[in-house]
Structure 1
Amino acid sequence: MTTITTLTATATLDEKHPAIYHHELLIEQRENAHTASRTVQTTQTPSVVQRALLLHAAQQPYTLVADHAMPTLLHKDEILIKVTAIGLNPIDWKGPAFNFGIPSLPWVNGRDLAGVVMQAAETTGSRLRKGDLVLVPSTDYRDIRKAAFQEYAVATHFNAAKIPASSSTHASASVGVAFVAAILALGVSFGLDLGVISECPGPNLPELLSTVDVNTIPSDVRDECFTSREKIERPKAGDWIAIWGASTTTGLIALQIARKAGLKTICVADIARHGTKLHAAGADILVDRHDTVRAVEIIRGVTGGKLRYAVDIVGRETSTLLQATLDPEIASDGSHAHLLGLTGLPKERDERIIYHTVPIKLFHSSPEVGEAMVTWLERLLETQTLELPEIVRAEGGLEGVNEALEILRRGDASGKRIVVSLD
C-alpha cells in the first residue's frame, strides 16, 4: 500500500520525448564500450544485481525484479548514484500507455532522481565527489543505465546538481526535467539572457553556444540551438510572453525565470485551482483556460495584438490557440514572432512565425551547456530564488510506483509533483 503525504517544497515536471529505434541504442552502447576500453581508467561496478522496475510490454504495469544488472561506468565523465528518491513525470505512464519513447523491451523508465554519489571516475574533477547528494534530470532516455526506476543509476557529472543542505532530497528529485525544459526553451530557443537576473544571475546560453563546437551538437537539434543567434530575435526587458499550461512545473519555472529576467508574463491555466500560486510566482496577467475563445481575445487585447513570444506546454490544440495570439508580421528590424511547443505545434503554420521545440539533447550532449545549467540550478536552490510547487510524497518505494503513477494519470495531483521515496 502506497502512503501519500502532501507538503510544500521543491519540484518539477513534464517533458515528452519521441520513440527511438533499438538499433540506435545498440550502436551507441557499442561505441561507448569501445571508447571506454581506450580512455577510461576507473574501478568498475562489481557484477552484481539490483532491484528495478521493468516494462515488459506496452499498456502493462511495471514489474519489480530483484535480478536486474547493476549499471557500470563506461565514460570518463560518468558517476554512479544510489537512488533515494524518484520524481514522477507524465511520460512515465504515457510512454507505456501509448507505446512511445521505449527503445526496446524489457525496459527501465524514469526521468527524475535524487541520490548519493557512490562512484566517480578520477577525471571528473573536484565538483562532485563520493558521498555528495545530487539530483539528476535523466534526459538521455535511450541509455537504460541512466533511468530512475532502479536502485542504482549512472549519470554524467555535468548533468548532476548538488542538493544544498537547505533543500529537501525528495523535493529535489522532481526538479530536474522541468528545469531543463524551461531553461532550454527560454535560454536557447528564445535566446533570453539569464545573466540579467539580479538575485541569482544565470548563463547567457546563446553566447556560450557560440564557443561550442557545432559538430558536437546532435544534428537533429542543431538548427534549434541557433535559431536565436541574432540578437534582434531575442526577448528583451518589457516584452510580453504568454505561457499556456503555466500551472505545470515547467510552466511555473518558465514563468518565474521570464519574470525575473524582466519579461511581462501572461499565464493561461485553471485559475480557480492555480491562480493564487501563479500570482505569488509573479504572473502579470492570469487567463482562465476553460473559455479558449475568450482566452485568445484577452491575450490579444492585453498585448494590443503585438505578442511576439509564446510557450505552450499542453499540446497541439492549445499551441494552435496560442498561434492566433501572436503578431505574425515581420517587424521593421526584421525580427519575427516565436512559438514554442513542448508537446506539439500547429498543423497549419504561418511562414512568418518561427516555431520551436525544446532541444533536450543539448543538455546531455554538451558538457559546457549541461554544467552551466546544473551549477546555476545549485545556486538557485541554495539561494531559494525559485518558488517551487507542492510535493506529494509516496512512501511505497519501487513497489509503490505503479500506484503513484495511477494517481498521476487520474490527475489527482494536478499542480503538484509526486515523488517516490526509496529511503
Structure 2
Amino acid sequence: MSGVSFLRRVSLHGFRGRSKSGVPQPETEKPPFKTAPIIPETQTVLLLHAARQPYELTENYPVSDLRDDHEVLVQTRAIGLNPVDWKAPELAGEVIKRRSSSRLKVLVISTDYRDLRKSAFQHYVVALDYNTVRLPPSISHEEGSTLGVAFVAAALSLGVCMGLDFSSVLDGPDIYSLIRQLPPDALAPDVRDECLNALPSQERAQPGDWLAVWGGSSTSANLTIQLARLAGLRTIAVADTAKHGVRLSNHRSTRPDLLVDSHDPARAVAVIRANAARNGGRGVRFAIDTRGKDSAGWLARALARDYDAEKNDGTKDKETNPAAAAGAPPSPPGTPDSDDEDSDDSDGGRPGDRPARPILPPDAHLIGLTGLPKEPAPAGVVYHTVPIKVFHEVPAVGRALVEWLERLLARGLVAPADIIDVERGLESVNRGLDRMRRGEISGGKLVVRVD
C-alpha cells in the first residue's frame, strides 16, 4: 500500500550489554524519578511506507497524547523481536506519564494493532493501564520484553479455547467463566462465537489432561508449557531435538513430560498417540501449533479419532468404513446396524427396540497460533483461533491477566524466554528482522535495546 505509513506495534522490555562470554546481561535498576520527567514534543520512530519494504528511521515525529484515564505514556527501553513471527515485536520500558508522576518499570502488552500510538518501534508508546505489567526488580527491561504477547496468546489459548481454570495458581483467572459473565455485546462479533460457543463446558481441560505443542522451542510454546504445567496439564513438546533437545529436556520451567522429534512428522504423530494413550489412557484431546498450517495439519492427525498411519491423512477408507465417514467410531463386531428397526437390543429388550447408539468420546481441540490446516477438521476434532482482541477490548480480561502475570513474576513462577542476542538502537531493527527471516534466531528472543 504505497503512500501509507505504518508503525509496528510492540510490548515493552529491556537489557544491557554482555558479559565477556557474550551472554547479554540485565541492566542495573535506575532510581525512581522524584519529579515528573520532561517529555519532548517529538521523537524518533520507524515508519513502514509500503509492504515488503524495510522500515525507515524518521525523526521529529510527534509524541502521542493520552486520550483517557486508562492510558499511560511509556518510554521504550527494549523491544523483543519474535523469532516465530517477526511481524509481532513486543517491548518494555518505563511509565513516564499517568495520573501520578512516579516512574515504573513495565512490560507493555499491546495487541491493538490498529492504534499506531501503541506501536513498539518508537521512543514513546501509549499503553492501556490494564494491558501494562509492573516488572519486579528481578526482571530487567530486556527480559521483560520477551514475555508479553506470548503470555497473552498462551493464556487465552489455554483459558478460552481450552477452558483451563487458573484459579489454583496464585488465584489466577478463570477466563472461560469470566467471559460468560459479561454481556454478549462486550465481545466483538468476530470473536464472540469462539469465546462463547466453540467449547462446551463438559469438554474443558482438566488437570491431568495431555497438551501437545508443535514448535516446542518457540517463545509462544515456552509460555504455553509453563502455564499449562502450573495448572496441572501434562505436556508434549514437538521440536527439532537435534537443535533444542538438550535445552528443553533440562529447562526447569519448560521441561515437557514428553519431548518428540519433529524431523519425521508422521513418526511424531505416532509417538504422540501411542505415549499419551499409554500414560493416562485418554490420549491427547488438546494441541497448540506455533509453526504454521503444515505442522497444524500433523497435529490434527494426532488428535483424530480414526487415524490411518499408513495413509497419513487422518481418515479410513470412507467407502468401506461408513461410520468413519459419518464422524462416529466403527461399531464393534456383532453389533446390529442402528438403522435396522426390527433388530433386538443386546440386553434382551423388546423385539423392534432400536439399539443404543455408541457414546462418542469428547471432541479434541486444536488451536492454531499462526494458521490452521488447509484440510477440513477430522472427525472429532474442533479447530480454534485465539481471540486475542479480548485482551485489549475487554478491560476485565486484560486486567485479570496482567495482575496475574505480576504475581507470577514476583513469585518467580514464570521465567522469561532465553535471549539469543541484543541489537542496539532503532536503526538496528531492520537488521534484526532480516536475521529472523533468514532463520538465524531459534529457541529464544532477539532483543533491541533502545537508548
TM-score normalized with structure 2 length: 0.76
Deviations 1:80-106 (A, max 9, x none): 11111111125874x5xxxxxxxxxxx
The corresponding residue for 2:405 is 377
Partner of 1:107: none
**What residue in structure 2 maps to residue 116 of structure 1?**
94
Q: Distance in 2 between matches of 1:220 and 1:184?
A: 16
1:39 equivalent in structure 2? none
Q: Mind listing any 5+ residue stretches in structure 1 that lack a counterpart?
A: 10-44, 96-109, 123-128
Which amino acid in 1 is paired with 2:69? K
Distance change >3 Å, CA 214–CA 111, structure 1 → 2: farther
**Local SS of the residue matching 1:277:** helix
Is residue 2:88 matched to residue 1:88?
A: no
Q: Percent same amino acid at aligned positions?
A: 44
Counterparts of 1:312 and 1:293 in 2: how far apart (Å)? 16
Structure of higher CA gyration radius: 2
2:159 touches 2:174 (CA, 8 Å); kept in 1?
Answer: yes
Counterparts in 2 of 1:362 and 1:275: CA distance versus 1, 3 Å = same
Counterpart in the other structure of 2:186:
216
- Structural RMSD (CA): 2.5
Question: How far off is 1:228 after superposition?
Answer: 5.8
1:301 aligns with 2:274: yes
SS in 1 for 2:272: helix
Superposed counterparts of 1:5-154, under 5 Å: 6-7=23-24, 48-90=41-83, 93=86, 95=87, 111-121=89-99, 130-154=102-126
Q: 1:188-227 to 2 correspondence within 5 Å?
A: 188-197=160-169, 200-227=170-197
Distance 1:376 1:241, change over 3 A: same
Aligned partner (choices 322, 342, 353) of residue 369 of structure 2: 342
Structure 2: segments with no counterpart, 5+ residues: 1-16, 27-37, 306-326, 329-357
**Separation in 2, partners of 1:302, 1:7:** 38
Q: Does 1:255 align with 2:219?
A: no
2:275 aligned partner, one-letter code:
V
Shift of 1:394: 2.4
Amino acid at match of 1:293: A
What is the letter of the counterpart of residue 375 of structure 1? E
1:404 aligned onto 2:432: yes
Greater shift, 156-165 or 324-333, is seen at 324-333
1:268 partnered with 2:285:
no
Give secondary structure in 2 for the equivalent of 1:66.
strand
Contact 2:152 2:388 survives alignment (8 Å):
yes
Indicate whether 1:161 and 2:133 are aligned: yes
Partner residue in 2 for 1:286? 259
**Residues 84 and 290 of structure 2 are in contact (CA less than 8 Å); yes or no, is this contact kept in structure 1?**
no
How far apart, CA to CA, are the structure 1 residues paired with 2:247 and 2:168? 24
8 A Cα contact 1:319 1:344, kept in partner: yes
Comparing both structures, which one devotes a greater share of its residues to helix?
A: 1
Matched, 1:324 2:301: yes
Q: CA deviation at 1:265?
A: 1.0
Q: Is the 8 A contact 2:215 2:291 kept in 1?
A: yes
- CA distance in 2 between counterparts of 1:348 and 1:58 reads 29
Name the SS for the 1:208 alignment partner.
Answer: helix
Q: By how many angstroms is 1:193 displaced?
A: 0.6
What is the SS of the residue equivalent to 1:386?
coil
Cα distance in 2 between the residues matched to 1:236 and 1:260: 12
